Amino acid sequence: MKNFLKYREIWLLAAIAMLIGLISTRFPGFANPGNLRQVFNDTSILMILALGQMVVILTRSIDLSMAANLCFTGMVVAMLNAAHPAIPIPLLIVIALLVGLVLGAINGLLVWRLNIPSIVVTLGTLTIYRGATFVISGGAWVNADQMSADFINFQRAAFLGIPVLSWIALLVIALFFLVMTRTALGRSIYAIGVNPTASVYAGIDVGRTKFIVFCISGMIGGLAGYLWISRYVIASVEVANGYELNIIAACVIGGISIAGGIGSVGGAVLGALFLGIISNALPVINISPFWQMAISGSAIILAVVLNARGERRQGRIILRKAEAA
Amino acid sequence: MTDPPAPRHIPDRLDKPLSSAIFSWEALLVVVAVAIFVVNSFASPYFLDPWSLSDLTFNFTEKALIALAMALLIISGEIDLSVAAIIALASTMMGMAVQAGAGTPALVLIGIAVGLGCGAFNGLLVTRLGLPSIVVTIGTMSLFRGVAFIVLGDQAYKGYPASFAFFGQGYVWWVVSFELALFLIAAVIYWFVLHRTSFGRRVFAIGNNPVAAQFSGVRVDRIKFILFCLTGLMSGIAAVLITSRLGSTRPSIAQGYELEAITMVVLGGVSILGGAGSILGVVLAAFIMGLVTFGLGLLNVPGIVMSIFIGLLLIIVIALPIVWRRLRGGRFA
């Protein structure tokens, strides 16, 4: 039982349950399964973005360009769809993944080959990708009436009573879970975050692994690009402006240490859900949505304070073990 | 194993010989600045007008004021992403004060005090609780701007007194705006503090090795706290300037300034990992960013496309010395 309580995910789950309980006292319908399914669906995009960001943060890096990547890739697929409505949606998704991959690979190459700190690289590419969106679109919007019905409805179609968007999120969560817990890549990602020097001696190619995580976050950004545009049915240069910080916030609330090495798929998902529940709940309990920013800000600060406690304790335990050995 | 001989003479100042100044980061920035200046003056006939050049400075002075303090903070190994949100909150508070009938001196005081208070809040969280500043300031960024949104919603404050307009729109002498004069004075002060005082030396020491600095008797947390307060203070001053220049307050004011200020700092040669950098570099980087955006503006390039150039400039200027070093076989490493 004591071991069980050590998992941050359990505490986060409890916090989310409490949050839902609290909201239910003001709006009883909130906790019913239909509504929770809706909340999950609304949060799907943030969840998969948080997972992409998580693998980057685990390696002591950061990807500030994810939202700009989302914006660029979303514009590319929206323009493709507007110009050639015949392109099937699965192919468009593959294109989105590839475009995102290229943008991520650019970040990854700069970090890997030139050893530039990731915060600098992605700060630069953030403005470049968003500027490039303007260049390819000429500043014009792609509106709902220019998009094909398939483009808009694909993620809304229900399969076994759950929208495709939610299925995509579940699939991504499952994939990340497998990679992080069952593959050598997942293990290397954690190892690099905990101790990059030791990782080198353990035979891990740190630079190449960082390149791979940026490719992953890039592909996720691309996928989210299509999902975002088809969900909010408008593509413009302003799409997801500043959203990179929401993604990082979800990770932080989910207990992913910005210092690398600590964090889990479950944490990232729950962190995103926490933010998603707040943004969904505010309108129904009659609190102005303008409160959302301040609330998530407070949640982030609270989460860091709690994370710092947990991490410090863990550090001491490892040290004691090493001394005993 | 013998120890290397101790240097006979340890200078008080780490002034470098002229030869290294020629190959320094600042020299590279000067070359870039001159190149952009020349290109601009050929590209547009309107560029070389004193009033155009004066307008140019409004592009960067507010962000550059923050960048000065941010440079010290980044050199010490910390970062503050909440500066733009501090501007929003300070501007909102000034707007509230105007509704309550406050005069110009009170407004300035409120703006600066709110900035200082927010900086101190960041500093306390980072130093007292030992939290990573990047996450803390992502949190306070949402919190500060969130409060501005709670107060204002989709409204805006207007009706600032006429005398308040001087700070953002006034000129002290011919084409020298108040904003530019303030920035130059602040730059000299920050240069002096960082490069000519023991406080500045301590900032470098903390950035290079906080543990060693602590054992050398440096109060690491106190200095970091002061640096956060300074960054907040400069953000408060920037809030006064931008509010005065625009004459209104919206909760979305100064959005994205934090990334531009950090870009200036990094472009100015400050190591994002801490421990190295110079105020001269940051000042040059501020001018370069102003030149690029203004020059492209004269050529009718939209703002968002300019950001591509800023982004490219950032990456290329950082990558260039690394590629150069590699090509020279590590001779300049």
pLDDT tens digit string along B208-250?
999 999 999 999 999 999 999 999 999 999 999 999 999 889 8
Instruction: Calculate what percentage of chain A has a pLDDT beyond 90.
Output: 33
Helix axes of A33-58 and A66-83: crossing angle, nearest 10 degrees:
120
Pairwise CA distance, residues A244 & B166, whole Å: 36
CB distance B260 to B183 below 8 Å? no
Cβ neighbours of A34 (radius 10 Å): 8
Residue B219 to residue B96: CA distance in whole angstroms: 38
Pairing mode, strands A162-163 and B171-173: unpaired
pLDDT tens-digit readout, A141-167: 888 788 887 778 877 878 887 888 889
Among A258, A241, A254, A250, residue whose Cα is nearest residue A296: A250
Is the pLDDT reported for residue B102 higher than 90? no
Whether B321 and chain A come into contact, CB under 8 Å, resolves to: no
Pick from A64, A132, A312: CB nearest B308: A132
**From CA A50, how far away is CA A65, in angstroms rounded?**
13
Which residue in B141, B262, B306 is closest to A297 by CB distance? Answer: B141
- Predicted confidence (pLDDT) at residue A285 exceeds the cutoff of 60: yes
Helix %, strand %, coil % for chain B, to 5?
70, 0, 25
Query: Does residue B181 register a pLDDT over 80?
Result: yes
- Chain A: closest CA distance from residue B165 (Å): 29
- Could you tell me what percent of chain B has a pLDDT over 70? 92
Q: Label residue B270 exposed, middle or buried (CB < 10 Å: 0-12, 13-18, 19+).
A: buried
CB-based contact B308 A123, cutoff 8 Å: no
The domain B49-322 having CATH identifier 3.30.200.20: the answer here is no
pLDDT of residue A48: 95
Rounded Cα gap, residues B322 and B317, in angstroms: 9
Evaluate if residue B89 carries a pLDDT over 70. yes
Could you tell me if residue A2 is inside a domain? no
Quote the number of domains for chain A.
Answer: 1
- Residue A286: band (very low, low, confident or very high) from pLDDT cuts 50, 70, 90: confident
Q: What is the mean pLDDT of residues B83-105?
A: 92
Rounded-to-integer distance, Cα B19 and Cα B196, Å: 22
The answer to whether A116 faces chain B, any CB pair under 8 Å, is: yes
Q: How far apart are CA B281 and CA A59, in angstroms?
A: 30
Round the average pLDDT of chain A to a whole number and report it: 85
CB contact under 8 A, B314 and A298: no
Predicted pLDDT of residue A37: 87
Give dist(CA A49, CA A254) in Å, integer. Answer: 13
Q: Do A297 and B312 touch (CB under 8 A)?
A: no
Q: Which pLDDT does position A314 carry in this prediction?
A: 47
- Let me know if A241 is exposed, middle or buried by CB neighbors in 10 A (0-12, 13-18, 19+): middle
Task: List all residues 6 or more positions away from A73 whose beta carbon is below 8 Å from its beta carbon.
Answer: A96, A99, A100, A103, A221, A222, A225, A226
**Residues B80, B68: Cα–Cα separation, whole Å:** 12
Instruction: With respect to residue A277, please indicate whether it lies within any of the assigned structural domains.
Output: yes
Q: Do B262 and A249 touch (CB under 8 A)?
A: no
pLDDT at B144 over 60: yes
pLDDT at A5: 57
Mean pLDDT within A5-13: 76
Residue A195, domain CATH: 1.10.3470
Across B297-304, average pLDDT: 78
Per-domain residue ranges for chain B? 49-322
Query: Does the pLDDT value for residue A107 go beyond 90?
Result: yes
Of B246, B248, B228, whose CA–CA distance to B236 is shortest?
A: B228
Would you place residue A310 in the very low, low, confident or very high pLDDT band (cuts 50, 70, 90)? low
Domain that holds residue A262: 35-324
In this predicted structure, the answer to whether residue A25 has a pLDDT above a threshold of 90 is no
Establish if A23 belongs to a structural domain: no
- Select the more confidently predicted residue: A7 or B271: B271
Round to whole Å and give the CA distance between B288 and B313. Answer: 10
Q: What 3-state class would DSSP assign to B249?
A: strand
Predicted confidence (pLDDT) at residue A315 exceeds the cutoff of 50: no
- Chain A: give the shortest CA distance to residue B174, in Å: 35
Distances from the Cα of A207 to the Cα of A42, A65, A211, B63, B89, angstroms:
35, 19, 6, 34, 41
Backbone angles phi, psi at A163, to 5 degrees: -65, 150
Phi, psi of B186 (to 5 degrees): -60, -40
